[in-house]
Structure 1
Amino acid sequence: MKIEEFTLERIQSLYENTVEYNLSDSGVHPYSLRELLSPEQQNALLDVELGYGWTNGKVELRQAIANLHPNRTPDHVIVTNGSAEANFLLVMSVLEPGDELVVFVPNYLQIWGWARAIGVTVKEVLLREELGWIPDLDDVRKAVSGRTKMMTVCNPNNPTGSVLPRETMDGLVAIARHHGIYLHADEVYKGAELDQDEPPSFADLYEKAIITSGLSKAMALPGLRIGWLVGPVEEIYASWQRKDYTSITTGAVSEFVAEIAVQPGKRQEILSRSKKILRENLALLQRWVNANGDLFSFVPPKAGGMAFIRYAMPVNSTELVHRLREERGIMLLPGDVYGLDRHIRIGVGAPAHHLETGLERLADFVRSDLK
């Protein structure tokens, strides 16, 4: 099997720990265990036995995740090592060679890459920048065919931070239901909406929806490596069978902490912290864009830990990002990894002083050193 390079992750893996100012992250500045847990919970953590648990996830944790959705049980949930494993298990459980997959782009392209590797035909539907990075439903209808097995969308979106309006969500459900296909939604940024209430999950709108979520992005706990799938029982069981071939189980310590984090009160506490950080940093970024409006512009994100910035300089985005890293110690992501040159992705979940200094270096580089 030939797998195309996952360029986004390859660039980050190579360089994100080598720079002074890493602005490539798409999540929120993480908690420490001391910040997250009460003294009583910290003591209880010391008594966790480091053995194997349930290979599909601790029952109590799966129940806590199921409780986030109406009428769900632990059998509708599988816990995974991060949302990346969840996405992999989804592809291997639902798709087969010769199937057709509709992917909304720009997007986090892990599912796109795995599907192509196993012989799935991938069709792309563009999110339209002029619509605020929202798809045109007519484009979706034209893309879906009799061979389509699944649509996959990232909502809130990576990299643009757009949030699908409820009418668009309902429209996608109607198209999926009409064709009897799966509708997958990556919802790892759900809960980090900045100017609206948290919308429903696709899992709550459609009987053949499968959602990926986890604790790495909106929940600011990437080091736990806890993700999950929620979907129909049969498909979740199939993903469990495939997990026997991958990581077997998640870590006991991570599951203990995750069960605390997904309780409704604690979850809202974490999301409130995330939104406070993101709102303040987005205001900082907006001021910076305004001050450099001859060179940069963007559709302000409505959720999540990043912004997708269009720039006016006549330079390739990958070249720009590598020069910034080598000459100014700043790490960004190039629009090339999403198939959209003349854009860069900037994380807005870092501490404000970190973001501010990185942006200053970026502006200075573009105005003084970029030839």
Structure 2
Amino acid sequence: MDIVEFSIERIQSLYENTVDYNLSDSGVHPYTLRELLDAEQINQLLDVELGYGWTNGGVELRQSISKLYKDKNADNVIVTNGSAEANFVLVMGMLNPGDELVVIVPNYLQIWGWAKALNVKVVEVPLREELGWLPDMDELKDAITPNTKMISYCSPNNPTGSVLPQETLEQIVDLARAQGIYVHADEVYKGSELDGNEGPSIADLYEKGIATNGLSKAMALPGLRVGWLAGPKDVIDRAWHCKDYTSITTSSVSEFAANIVVQPQKRSEILERSRTILNQNVATLDEWIKQNSENYSCQLPQAGGMAFVRYSMNINSTDLVHRMRTERSIMLLPGDCYGMDGYIRIGVGAPSDHLKAGLAQLHEFTRGLND
């Protein structure tokens, strides 16, 4: 099997822990267990048996997650080891060689890469910067053929931070429903909308809608490694069939904590913290962009822990990021990872002092590059 390198993850795994200023992350600065749980919950955690659980996720946790959606129950949810495994078992369960998958890009590209490895034909439809990083619906319509099995998008979007409005989502659903096509949405940044207006899930808008979500990004808990799929029972059953071949179960410790944080009050508390951090940091980035407008420009994110910044220097984005890393100990993500040279992704979910210090180093680097 020929698997394309997952460059987003590879470059981060190689370098993000080797620099002084890691601005490559796309999530919100994580909690510690002490910050997340109260004393009673921590004491309960110590009594959790470290055995195997349900291979599709504990019943109580699946029931709790299902309440995040309309008209769903535990059978409409499978719990996975991070949202990455959710995407993996979705592709394995739903797509076959010869199927066509329409992917709205830029995107996290995990599904894009794994589908290609399975000899699925991947058709790309771009988000248009001139449209506010939204798709041209005529282009999406033209990409659909009789062989199209699924449409996949990421909203709030990685890397642009754009959010597909409900009107656009409904147009996507109309196109899919007319052809009997599944629609998949990566929704791991859902709830981090800077204006506090959390958008609808595709799992609620469409009977053949499938949502990937988890605790890693908007919820600021990547270390728990808890993700899930929510959607039609037949899709969830196929994913479960595949999960029996992968990680078997999720961690009993992580499931205990996850069931606490997906409860409405705690989830609301966590998302409020995320939005506070992001709003403060996006304002910081906005001011920095204005001060460095001769070299950088950006349509500021509406959600999520990152901004997709265009630069004007005559240098390849991967080369630029490696120079920043070696010369100033700053880690960013190059647009090359998304097939979009001329951009860099800057994380805005870090503590504010860390972001400010990293941006100061980036300013000094740029000034030296232009001297």
Give TM-score scaled by structure 1 length. 0.99
Unpaired runs of at least 5, structure 1:
none
Match of 2:10 in 1: 10
Match of 2:351 in 1: 351
Describe how 1:159-174 pairs up with structure 2 within 5 A: 159-174=159-174
Secondary structure of the 1:127 match is: strand
Aligned-residue RMSD, C-alpha: 0.7
Kindly provide the CA deviation profile for residues 173-222 of structure 1, in whole angstroms up to 9, marking residues without a partner as x.
Answer: 00010110110000000000012511110100000011100000000000
Kindly provide the CA deviation profile for residues 141-174 of structure 1, in whole angstroms up to 9, marking residues without a partner as x.
Answer: 0001111000000010000000011110100000
Describe how 1:98-109 pairs up with structure 2 within 5 A: 98-109=98-109
The answer to whether the Cα contact below 8 Å between 2:161 and 2:304 also exists between their aligned partners in 1 is yes
Describe how 1:139-150 pairs up with structure 2 within 5 A: 139-150=139-150
* Separation of aligned partners in 1, 2:266 and 2:171: 33
* Separation of aligned partners in 2, 1:238 and 1:289: 46
Match of 2:185 in 1: 185
Offset, 1:369: 3.5
Q: Does 1:232 align with 2:216?
A: no
Secondary structure of the 2:122 match is: strand
The answer to whether the Cα contact below 8 Å between 2:196 and 2:275 also exists between their aligned partners in 1 is no
Kindly provide the CA deviation profile for residues 234-285 of structure 1, in whole angstroms up to 9, marking residues without a partner as x.
Answer: 1101111111110000000000000000000000000000000000000000
Give TM-score scaled by structure 2 length. 0.99
Q: Does 1:74 align with 2:74?
A: yes
Describe how 1:146-225 pairs up with structure 2 within 5 A: 146-225=146-225
The sequence identity of aligned pairs, in percent, is: 66
Offset, 1:128: 0.5
Q: Does 1:128 align with 2:128?
A: yes
* Separation of aligned partners in 1, 2:224 and 2:246: 18
Kindly provide the CA deviation profile for residues 328-362 of structure 1, in whole angstroms up to 9, marking residues without a partner as x.
Answer: 10000000001111100000000011100111111
**Which amino acid in structure 2 is aligned with residue 121 of structure 1?**
K
Of 196-205 and 253-262, deviating more is 196-205
Describe how 1:236-247 pairs up with structure 2 within 5 A: 236-247=236-247
Q: Does 1:329 align with 2:342?
A: no
Match of 1:85 in 2: 85
**Which amino acid in structure 2 is aligned with residue 364 of structure 1?**
E
Offset, 1:368: 1.3
Change (3 A) 1:91 1:174: same
* Separation of aligned partners in 1, 2:23 and 2:329: 10
* Separation of aligned partners in 1, 2:254 and 2:75: 20
**Which amino acid in structure 2 is aligned with residue 249 of structure 1?**
T
Offset, 1:370: 5.1
**Which amino acid in structure 1 is aligned with residue 95 of structure 2?**
L
Secondary structure of the 1:284 match is: helix
**Which amino acid in structure 1 is aligned with residue 150 of structure 2?**
M
Q: Does 1:270 align with 2:270?
A: yes
Kindly provide the CA deviation profile for residues 62-109 of structure 1, in whole angstroms up to 9, marking residues without a partner as x.
Answer: 000000111101000000000000000000000000000000011100
Match of 2:257 in 1: 257
Secondary structure of the 2:134 match is: coil
Match of 2:286 in 1: 286
Secondary structure of the 1:274 match is: helix
Q: Does 1:47 align with 2:40?
A: no
Unpaired runs of at least 5, structure 2:
none
* Separation of aligned partners in 2, 1:7 and 1:43: 41
Match of 1:365 in 2: 365
* Separation of aligned partners in 1, 2:234 and 2:128: 35
* Separation of aligned partners in 2, 1:41 and 1:300: 38
Offset, 1:136: 1.2
Secondary structure of the 1:349 match is: coil
The answer to whether the Cα contact below 8 Å between 2:57 and 2:79 also exists between their aligned partners in 1 is yes
* Separation of aligned partners in 1, 2:67 and 2:277: 27
**Which amino acid in structure 1 is aligned with residue 112 of structure 2?**
W
Secondary structure of the 2:104 match is: strand
Change (3 A) 1:343 1:32: same
Secondary structure of the 1:344 match is: strand
